[in-house]
A and B are shown apart, each in its own frame.
Chain A
């Protein structure tokens, strides 16, 4: 004999009739979707992404040719021209300045095309800011994004060219590692 829950038991004919059913014995057409967990998840996700938002991607674009060295005591990157020194070539704002192999063979202290390009960029910057009556905006910041395997003989020439062109505030771009990362650039 089957086990049934205690309570009133109707006959089969009455159970199938409209007397006991809510909507004529059919399933309801309106179903509510509980969106509260979805909204909660979205809010947490948005907060997490905003908290971790970083604008450094606009300053440096990472490429497979350039593997940056790691450093712990770094500051935040500043918006400035970027000189990319990969294992094969030196590039400034998309313009190839020269091949690393050729530059290694030369004995000059500077890289004339790089210096020329940087002077041109400095002039453009100053013209733009002079037109807006914003003199003194040029601080001579430049970022060097060099591959970690590049020899100092190339970096030295890049640094000298930057300094000669008026970009004296040289920064080496690095991968920030660890929790020792400083964020004190606001005070600078």
Chain B
């Protein structure tokens, strides 16, 4: 019998009855309260963060260590992306968008992969961004850089 315990009072032998049942009512109450609490506090949108640093605003004010690595800079404008490695500028990539108006990053990914194979030790990249660039496009480029093994992303305003 659910919700109660069969005491098994019958019988004259005095043995303990074997057919006992557990009272499930408090357990069900606890479960119901837990479910309501968890559903009310649940976050249905998954949020994340992309860590960036601001180029030229180093808190330590120390000069960067002298290395053989060539600095990589991506200039983001409204119309194109220009990659500069050391002092050499690569071919500019015109900005194209998909049907959802998101920035197409396939060519940028290929270039970054190529640069990573050339300089496997290089982890830093600077994104020089023009004022009129949409925040969504900047985030997409940062995401692409981090996804292509450039975890240290600095953002700086493009010099006009």
Contacts and interface: CB of A to CB of B under 8 A. Distances in A.
Q: Report whether chain A binds chain B.
A: yes
Interface of A: 30, 32-35, 38-39, 42-43, 45-46, 49-50, 52-57, 59-60, 62, 68-78, 85, 140, 143, 146-153, 155-156, 159-160, 163, 168-177, 180-181
Contacts of A75: 48-51
Given A69-B136, A73-B146, A172-B49, A42 B54 contact: no
Given A46-B34, A174-B48, A174-B50, A72 B143 contact: yes
Given A38-B28, A71-B143, A174-B139, A49 B1 contact: no
B132 interface: yes
B135 A152 contact: yes
In this complex, which of B32, B131, B135, B143 has the most chain A Cβ atoms within 10 angstroms of its Cβ?
A: B135
B27 A39 contact: yes
B15 to A, nearest CB: 25
A187 to B, nearest CB: 13
Complex A-B, nearest 7 residue pairs according to Cβ-Cβ distance, in ascending order: A74-B48, A176-B48, A148-B136, A57-B43, A49-B38, A153-B131, A42-B31
Interface bracket on B: 35 or more
A30 B2 CA distance: 11
Interface string B117-135: 0000000000001111111
Given A69-B136, A143-B49, A174-B143, 7 more contacts: A35-B2, A75-B49, A149-B134, A151-B131, A151-B134, A174-B48, A175-B46
Contacts of B133: 151-152
Interface of B: 1-3, 24, 27-28, 31-32, 34-35, 38-39, 41-43, 45-54, 57, 59, 129-136, 138-140, 142-143, 146-147, 155, 157
Contacts of B28: 35, 38-39, 42
Contacts of A163: 54, 57, 59
Contacts of B134: 148-152
23 contacts: A39-B27, A46-B35, A53-B38, A54-B42, A54-B46, A62-B45, A69-B140, A73-B143, A74-B49, A77-B48, A148-B136, A152-B129, A153-B131, A160-B54, A168-B59, A172-B139, A172-B142, A173-B47, A174-B50, A174-B143, A175-B46, A176-B47, A181-B46
B72 to A, nearest CB: 17
Contacts of B39: 49
Contacts of A62: 45
Contact of A152 (B3, B38, B138): B138
B24 A172 contact: no
A151 B76 CA distance: 12
B38 A46 contact: yes
Contact of B147 (A34, A73, A153): A73
A42 B43 contact: no
A138 to B, nearest CB: 12
B47 A35 contact: no
A34 B47 contact: no
Contacts of A42: 28, 31-32, 35
Nearest to A172: B50
Nearest to A169: B51
